[in-house]
Amino acid sequence: MFAKQKQSVEKQNSSQSEKISSNDPNLNTILENNDGSNKEIMIPSRVKSPPSLLSTDLFVKGNLNTSGDIQIEGSVEGNIKANLLTIGQNAEIKGEIIAEEVVVNGAISGTIKGNRVHLTASARVNGDIIHNSIAIESGAHFEGSIEKSEDPLTKPIPKGAATIS
């Protein structure tokens, strides 16, 4: 039903020849190696991985750092750095959050720094928010200060803000 086209390339070594094959049609070809020779090498294109999920029965004490996306349904005591961070409705976070985009459905105690921050109706935030763009739905509970910044990810944390080391 689904057929992938098989691609193959021959790669020459000084004494032997090996064949590289792939079923991925999205491979890119590099025609010139570091040594200047014209050998073809197949390199896979960047594929976005699914978000990491921390389930409701999970408690993490420590910092989380990723260039990908995280969805948290459990509890975290520590700082979190991610691309897209989604806080589930029953999740509880204590610490600083730094992310390109933050969607809050649960409870956060600490500073949020994000280019895009969205507090849903079930959000409960106790801390400061530094953002470039913010959306707060009716029913969200927020206690703290909000500051707009063109580059919120590098902005220093306000004095008195909660962080976990």
pLDDT tens-digit profile, the chain (165 residues): 455 454 444 444 444 444 444 444 444 444 444 555 555 554 455 567 788 899 999 999 999 999 999 999 999 999 999 999 999 999 999 999 999 999 999 999 999 999 999 999 999 999 999 999 999 999 999 999 999 999 998 877 655 554 444
- Fill in the DSSP letter of residue 95: S
Alpha carbons within 13 A on the beta-carbon side of 57: 0
25 within a domain of the structure (yes/no): no
pLDDT at 14: 42
Backbone φ/ψ region at 88: left (φ over 0), alpha (ψ -120 to 50), beta: beta
pLDDT of 154: 85
Kindly state whether residue 19 falls inside one of the protein's structural domains. no
Note whether residue 91 is domain-resident. yes
Quick one: pLDDT at residue 82? 95
C-alpha 11/C-alpha 4 separation (Å) is 22
SS3 label, residue 50: coil
Residue 1 lies in a domain: no
Q: Which domain holds residue 123?
A: 52-148
Whole-model pTM: value is 0.67
Q: How many domains does the chain have?
A: 1
